[in-house]
Structure 1
Amino acid sequence: MYCLRFLRKKKLTSLSTLSFVTLTKHQTFTQTYDHNNVIASNKLIANYVRSGDVDSALRVFDNMTVKSTITWNSILAAFAKKHGNFEHARQLFEKIPEPNTVSYNIMLACYWHHFGIHNARGFFDRMPVKDIASWNTLISGYTQVGMMDEARRLFEVMPEKNCVTWSAMVSGYVACGNLDAAVECFYAAPMRSVITWTAMITGYMKFGRVELAERLFHEMCLKTLVTWNAMIAGYVDNGRAEDGLKLFKTMLETGVKPNNLSLTSVLLGCSDLSALQLGKQVHQLVCKSPLSRDTTAVTSLISMYSKCGDLKDSWQLFVQIPRKDVVTWNAMISGYAQHGAGEKALHLFDEMKRENMKPDWITFVAVLLACNHTGLVDLAIQYFNSMVRDFGIKTRPEHYACMVDLLGRAGRLSEAVDMIKGMPFKPHPAIFGTLLGACRIHKNLHMAEFAAKNLLELDPTSATGYVQLANVYAAQNKWEHVARIRKSMKENNVVKSPGYSWIEINNVVHEFRSSDRLHSELVSIHEKLNKLEKKMKLAGYVPDLEFALHDVGEELKEQLLLWHSEKLAIAFGLLKVPLGVPIRVFKNLRVCGDCHSAIKYISAIEGREIIVRDTTRFHHFKDGFCSCSDYW
């Protein structure tokens, strides 16, 4: 499965062989070809330029007795591409006996890449000859730096337009966030290339207009890999990872080979769905491709395994990467932090610094998260202060959210409020949502009302504010307050996102909601839970009715607790997952206190390892204990 080391050795052998063969061919060719043969010399220069060997190209150029404008343009292009060689390119350009439009276009691109769009515009205005490529180069330059007004003015006076022109305008408007202008330009285009269609699909996906993107995709006669990637990434970014994975399978069936971007999007989708088996299949694809040597692709695999609850495979991949970048370190540190292995995460952070790898703001989010999940409050405060002082990293809302969560979990609610008040920017709703969650844990009604008030002022449509406050009231049996909040939600058209859990069995994701009545094997699941409940009670389990958030009798409350979505998913896993294989369940909300207690009993009674990922972290249940030590 882990193919990196093998492929690295194979790569070194192949490269040495390739170098010898290439060198031999070069020596043979340069010894035999005629320096007076302009066509042969031009081909040789072009090959050298294409491979990035400018010195060899220049040697051939200097040995030529006769040079055509094509010769000059080829060597000019070599200098234009090479960073820091603008002056050489300019001097060479001035020596061209008869520069043509191609010569001027190469220098135009050179001005743009070395000195920016304003200098490129100056050169463009001085050009004695221009063709459609000249105009496209400048328009593309304007769109890439977001100067759409200038691009539009140039576009309108352009004597002739082609697909490249229209594609540049559509892409520019999409990048600048002007979807209406992009749509107008797309439908006004008399000709559309695959690039134009793909740019519009990207725009629709960027603004959440998934159905319109789908319609364009299905209308396209010809699709490139870039088009498929735009759709797959768009699905994943818009919370429709399942559709993205289905499309990826369709893409493979049509014979289109994925690249780095394809696999990165698919792995992100696997992470979102916690589809470990499919993620492993994607891993096999990576192993069979050159991407096995690509740090970005392997880092995506590390992240996928961590988010799917398989930290062992994450680590094995991590140690095989010879040169790790900051993203790779962040992925592994975050993985340990999410799984509650705070000590390992912090040890890895220290190792990262010893390797002279400079941490970034994401690194510190992971470090603070590691402290959070292990209750290391004072150490987290030290890291938070050192971030600016020792590393020059500006604090961001994500860092403050971690600190508020950490202080809140520790019961230091007043300090959490002071942290919010001391933020150098306006608090976002999630900050108060985090504080509200801590208030529920510590049953602080006064602080909960303060947090909910601020949250709903910032985001009146937030279901979190209403639901969390209602839960605090329900835990204290203040049912009239709960009823008032639910009435307010209805009046304000606020819809609560339902809680659900899911488990992957044989490449199929099974989803459960509390009191589920739709699953085809519900009878067997209920039978399993009823038997488990009797065994749990004999072992000392007492249902925590505080988490049955309904004003009903105790017997019905117990039944409602037994049918929580995570318990249904675990029971199904016990029926389907072979002995010796961990049961992995995922939940879109925080696991409730009663379920957490019950799963500890289930792990001991059934002798199974149960891994549950909720919105805060991973919980590893085994032999009646949880890795979080009941701190989450």
Structure 2
Amino acid sequence: MERSLINLLKTCAVSPSLGRSAMAVHGSAIKSGFITRPSMQNRIVVAYVKCSLMVCARSVFDEMPQRNAVVESAMISGYSRCKKFDEARQLFEGSKEPSVVCCNAMISMYVHNDREVEGLNLLRDLYSMGVKPNEFTLSVVLLGCSNLEALEEGKQIHAFVTRGGFSLDLAVSNSLISFYARCGRMEHASFVFYHMPDKDVYSWTAMVTGYAQNGRTGDAARLFDVMPQRNVVSWNAMICGYQEQEDDEIAMEMYVRMLRKGQLPTSSTLSVILKCCVCLLQFGKALQVHDQAIKLGISSNVFVGSAIVDMYAKFGCMVDSQKAFDEILEQNVVSYSALASGYAQNGDILVAADLFNKMPEKNLVAWNFMIAGYVHNGLQIEALDMFSDMIQANVQPNQFTLSSILNACASPQASRNGRKVHGYAIKVGFDFYTTIGNSLITMYAEQEDIVSVLAVFKRMQQYDVVSWTAMVSAYVKNNRIHEARQIFETMPEKNLISWNTMIGGYLQIRNSSETDEEKYLALSGSSADALELFCKMKEFEIKPDHFTYNCVLVACASIGTLQQTRSIHTATITRGFDTDIGVANALINAYGKCGNSRDAEHVFNSLVNPDPVSWNTMITGYSQNGQGHKALQIFHRMCESGVQPNHVTFISVLSACSHAGEVEKGWELFESMSRDYGIERGQDHYACMVDLLGRAGQLCEAERLINDMPIRPDTVVWGALLGACKTYRDVDIARRVAKNILNHESINASVYVTMANIFADAGFWDDAAELRVRMREKQLLRSPGCSWIEIHNRKHSFLAGDKSHPEWNIVRMMLSTLYIHIKEDNYILDVG
């Protein structure tokens, strides 16, 4: 009978769901009288503990006349699992003679519940309690040191291991390897590893994992390849290591290799591989991994299921993400966070907030994703309110929290809140963290406070590649491109983002020059610098991404360099970026700006689903290259394909009508904007119509259109009419137009120059002379003419009267030769 009851209790201890059965056996033990036997009492307590019935276990435990170390440690472990740490500590302190087993249970409780310091303190008290630590004690304490990255304390324990003769113990040696690896001291881990008399698969795996986690994937791979035996943890360590180093392609290759070796993946494997699929934008591969998880029966596992939820959310498939979430058997804060974060990142912040409120428990990660979600959706006030609620809920923020909040304070309007958060970071000692410093640099840069940017940078104790890149970006945002380049050149390490920031920075320069020619020269110079940096980037074997190609194609477009556009086009095909819609649109624009409509057509026609930008860019390209009729044709194709034109489309198509001389068509499109498409006409649309009417010689109609505008016309609109007045020598309308422009901009030099030319063409020499006198009085300088030519992929720019070109003497000789040929052809210079 007693043996049967004990066997039943063993069964109850194996399955936590058999609590009622344990109670029934307990009742039978009382009725049969076996309850008084110590062995029966021990078994009942252990069974209750395993079933998490701590009240029942404690009632039996308190009635026991004799308690051994096994039952006491079981009670401590039970309280630990139930998060009842005070009860565990009281029980331990009430023990008459604490054993090493009980001490191990207490230290393990502390270490596994983020209370490592208390565990280390208990270790120090062992000898005063008359308890000698054993191998398990040392292994658990080393885990605690690993979690704290407490290098000095761990070294002291290592010295104790050596003195106490524990260095031959396999588990202790493996714990030492893991400890040193976690602290980034792989040379110490290697010393322990190579001095072990015996090694098991865990020893090898600990070393491989250590190398991988410390970014030394090459060393990890070399050790992995010579391992006498591998397990799934070894494979996972390599895959995870590559993924953490952003070598997602190699991680995927390692995964395929693992499958070929016959090793089945675990939930950890598939979770990491799904991250790789997201980073590589391989949606098809991600679907295959999901199918594999289903076949293995682990898709409803909370870890894999959460990774699947996150994967679908990252690809914008929120219906599938929700479905994957619903299929998870035991949803927890991780799965809730993955789904809610997905909704937030996809713009459904209200659904995300509702999920957050429904969470059975909220940890720091949950608060962080919600704050980040509000920031992502531009709801800075809500993000700050959430941060305040988090503090009131006694949840301590971490570096990620403060980084998100600082992003919420990046606008100049939020500078006061930003300084408050900065003050909080200093108060809690977070300002020394590199991640916080990086966020502060970004925040102050957005607020154009370069003084604070420098102060933060100088205060930081450590810099990473993000810190340096943030400084480059800060100077770019403050239009100090030369200082940005200096910092870029001195960076100890550069990554793709660093190069992209500097290349993109050249295209963001805000030039203060007054004339179009000077602005062009500044822009062409910065574009040339961007292209030069792109070539240098390839020398450093940094692989460009879609952002890089977009930037350099914009540079090519701005200076019209066809050969480099073609070269970059070839590179995009080689790298597989030619199918990226953004890159394709940049190619169409570059070819259009270079006057090569044929290649622009080729890129456009290769697109499976051109977006509105694609259509607009093609229309603009045709229009700018004098192919107005083709522009109108592609506009009609756009409408027939079901793509809705926008305000940019009509600017391009009205400009096309102007170049093609299609006045009636232009009026028809202009009238249809608000009537058929609900698009409000802006200054640019009116300027196009004025230009169209002006080119057709309908100057009075153009002036009437301006006077009837529902909005106040700007200088661009009036300028379009003034240009037409010059063409048709209409002095009367030109006088009225010039008066209106000068009412807006009294020092507009181009108006004086144009009016002087109009007067001269009409023979009004006195008026022309008077204007030139007024220009001198106002110190208005006429901008010199500008021309440029591309030779061997290099753009050469010239200003009238400029002799600064390094090959000016050759240019002067060529001009002299040209003048001679011009005179021989009886050309008479118009000096009027």
By the TM > 0.5 criterion, same fold? yes
Aligned partner of residue 742 in structure 2, secondary structure: helix
> For residues 147-296 of structure 1, what are the structure 2 equivalents within 5 Å?
147-158=414-425, 159=428, 160-161=430-431, 162-175=433-446, 178-179=447-448, 181-189=449-457, 190-191=459-460, 194-238=465-509, 239=523, 240-296=526-582
> For residues 314-393 of structure 1, what are the structure 2 equivalents within 5 Å?
314-393=600-679
TM-score computed with the length of structure 2 as normaliser: 0.55
Query: In 2, distance between residues paired with 1:21 and 1:123?
Result: 38
Specify the alignment match of 1:394 in structure 2: 680
Query: Could you tell me the percent identity over the aligned residues?
Result: 29
Query: In 2, distance between residues paired with 1:522 and 1:512?
Result: 12
| Aligned partner letter, 1:235 | Y
Per-residue Cα deviation, 1:548-574 (whole angstroms, up to 9, x for no partner): 4x46xxxxxxxxxxxxxxxxxxxxxxx
Query: In 1, distance between residues paired with 2:817 and 2:764?
Result: 34
Aligned partner of residue 781 in structure 2, secondary structure: coil
Specify the alignment match of 1:105 in structure 2: 368
Specify the alignment match of 1:48 in structure 2: 308
Residues 55 and 478 (structure 1), Cα distance of their counterparts in 2 relative to 1, 3 Å cut: closer
Query: In 2, distance between residues paired with 1:352 and 1:229?
Result: 33
Aligned partner of residue 520 in structure 1, secondary structure: helix
> For residues 19-98 of structure 1, what are the structure 2 equivalents within 5 Å?
22=289, 25-26=292-293, 29-30=296-297, 44-45=304-305, 47-49=307-309, 51-52=311-312, 54=321, 58=325, 61-62=328-329, 72-82=333-343, 83=346, 84=348, 85-86=351-352, 89-90=355-356, 93-94=359-360, 96=361
- Please tell me whether the aligned partners of residues 146 and 172 of structure 1 are also in contact (alpha carbons under 8 angstroms): no
Query: In 1, distance between residues paired with 2:652 and 2:562?
Result: 22
Residues 315 and 236 (structure 1), Cα distance of their counterparts in 2 relative to 1, 3 Å cut: same
Specify the alignment match of 2:774 in structure 1: 488
Residues 102 and 284 (structure 1), Cα distance of their counterparts in 2 relative to 1, 3 Å cut: same
Query: In 1, distance between residues paired with 2:502 and 2:695?
Result: 40
Query: In 2, distance between residues paired with 1:60 and 1:233?
Result: 44
Specify the alignment match of 1:470 in structure 2: 756
- Please tell me whether the aligned partners of residues 450 and 475 of structure 2 are also in contact (alpha carbons under 8 angstroms): no
| Aligned partner letter, 1:236 | L
- Please tell me whether the aligned partners of residues 271 and 304 of structure 1 are also in contact (alpha carbons under 8 angstroms): yes
- Please tell me whether the aligned partners of residues 143 and 168 of structure 1 are also in contact (alpha carbons under 8 angstroms): no
Farther off after superposition, 112-121 or 217-226: 112-121
Aligned partner of residue 129 in structure 1, secondary structure: coil
Residues 16 and 120 (structure 1), Cα distance of their counterparts in 2 relative to 1, 3 Å cut: closer
Residues 422 and 231 (structure 1), Cα distance of their counterparts in 2 relative to 1, 3 Å cut: farther
Query: In 2, distance between residues paired with 1:110 and 1:203?
Result: 24
1:143 paired with 2:410, answer: yes
Per-residue Cα deviation, 1:411-435 (whole angstroms, up to 9, x for no partner): 2222222333333333332233222
Aligned partner of residue 143 in structure 1, secondary structure: coil
Unaligned residue ranges in structure 2 (runs of 5+): 1-280, 313-319, 510-522
Aligned partner of residue 578 in structure 2, secondary structure: helix
- Please tell me whether the aligned partners of residues 337 and 370 of structure 1 are also in contact (alpha carbons under 8 angstroms): yes
- Please tell me whether the aligned partners of residues 352 and 370 of structure 2 are also in contact (alpha carbons under 8 angstroms): no
- Please tell me whether the aligned partners of residues 372 and 406 of structure 1 are also in contact (alpha carbons under 8 angstroms): yes
> For residues 397-416 of structure 1, what are the structure 2 equivalents within 5 Å?
397-416=683-702
Residue 246 of structure 1: how far off its partner (Å): 1.5
Residue 474 of structure 1: how far off its partner (Å): 3.1
Specify the alignment match of 2:255 in structure 1: none
Residue 514 of structure 1: how far off its partner (Å): 5.0
Residues 493 and 512 (structure 1), Cα distance of their counterparts in 2 relative to 1, 3 Å cut: same
Query: In 2, distance between residues paired with 1:514 and 1:185?
Result: 42
Residues 183 and 402 (structure 1), Cα distance of their counterparts in 2 relative to 1, 3 Å cut: farther
Residues 194 and 490 (structure 1), Cα distance of their counterparts in 2 relative to 1, 3 Å cut: farther
Aligned partner of residue 450 in structure 1, secondary structure: helix
| Aligned partner letter, 2:810 | S
Query: In 1, distance between residues paired with 2:289 and 2:363?
Result: 33
Residue 266 of structure 1: how far off its partner (Å): 1.2
Residues 150 and 335 (structure 1), Cα distance of their counterparts in 2 relative to 1, 3 Å cut: same
Farther off after superposition, 501-510 or 259-268: 501-510
Query: In 1, distance between residues paired with 2:770 and 2:465?
Result: 55
Aligned partner of residue 388 in structure 2, secondary structure: helix
Query: In 2, distance between residues paired with 1:45 and 1:310?
Result: 51
Farther off after superposition, 460-469 or 114-123: 114-123
- Please tell me whether the aligned partners of residues 731 and 758 of structure 2 are also in contact (alpha carbons under 8 angstroms): yes
- Please tell me whether the aligned partners of residues 501 and 513 of structure 1 are also in contact (alpha carbons under 8 angstroms): yes
Query: In 2, distance between residues paired with 1:399 and 1:115?
Result: 31
Residue 492 of structure 1: how far off its partner (Å): 3.1
- Please tell me whether the aligned partners of residues 264 and 297 of structure 1 are also in contact (alpha carbons under 8 angstroms): yes
Specify the alignment match of 1:577 in structure 2: none
Residue 359 of structure 1: how far off its partner (Å): 0.6
Residues 27 and 245 (structure 1), Cα distance of their counterparts in 2 relative to 1, 3 Å cut: same
Per-residue Cα deviation, 1:571-620 (whole angstroms, up to 9, x for no partner): xxxxxxxxxxxxxxxxxxxxxxxxxxxxxxxxxxxxxxxxxxxxxxxxxx
Match of 2:793 among 507, 518, 526: 507
| Aligned partner letter, 2:698 | R
Specify the alignment match of 1:606 in structure 2: none
Specify the alignment match of 1:520 in structure 2: 810
Query: In 1, distance between residues paired with 2:555 and 2:366?
Result: 46
- Please tell me whether the aligned partners of residues 742 and 748 of structure 2 are also in contact (alpha carbons under 8 angstroms): yes
The structure that has the greater radius of gyration is: 2
Residue 193 of structure 1: how far off its partner (Å): 5.2
1:304 paired with 2:590, answer: yes
The structure showing larger relative contact order (alpha-carbon pairs under 8 Å, at least 6 residues apart) is: 1
Specify the alignment match of 1:438 in structure 2: 724
- Please tell me whether the aligned partners of residues 310 and 342 of structure 2 are also in contact (alpha carbons under 8 angstroms): no
Query: In 1, distance between residues paired with 2:700 and 2:340?
Result: 62
Aligned partner of residue 501 in structure 1, secondary structure: strand
Query: In 1, distance between residues paired with 2:708 and 2:455?
Result: 50
1:427 paired with 2:699, answer: no
| Aligned partner letter, 1:138 | I
Query: In 2, distance between residues paired with 1:172 and 1:433?
Result: 40
TM-score computed with the length of structure 1 as normaliser: 0.71
Query: In 1, distance between residues paired with 2:811 and 2:373?
Result: 66
Query: In 2, distance between residues paired with 1:424 and 1:251?
Result: 51
Per-residue Cα deviation, 1:331-372 (whole angstroms, up to 9, x for no partner): 111111112222221121111111111111000001110111
- Please tell me whether the aligned partners of residues 512 and 519 of structure 1 are also in contact (alpha carbons under 8 angstroms): no
- Please tell me whether the aligned partners of residues 374 and 382 of structure 2 are also in contact (alpha carbons under 8 angstroms): yes
- Please tell me whether the aligned partners of residues 503 and 509 of structure 1 are also in contact (alpha carbons under 8 angstroms): yes
Query: In 2, distance between residues paired with 1:15 and 1:126?
Result: 38
Residues 461 and 388 (structure 1), Cα distance of their counterparts in 2 relative to 1, 3 Å cut: same
| Aligned partner letter, 2:491 | M
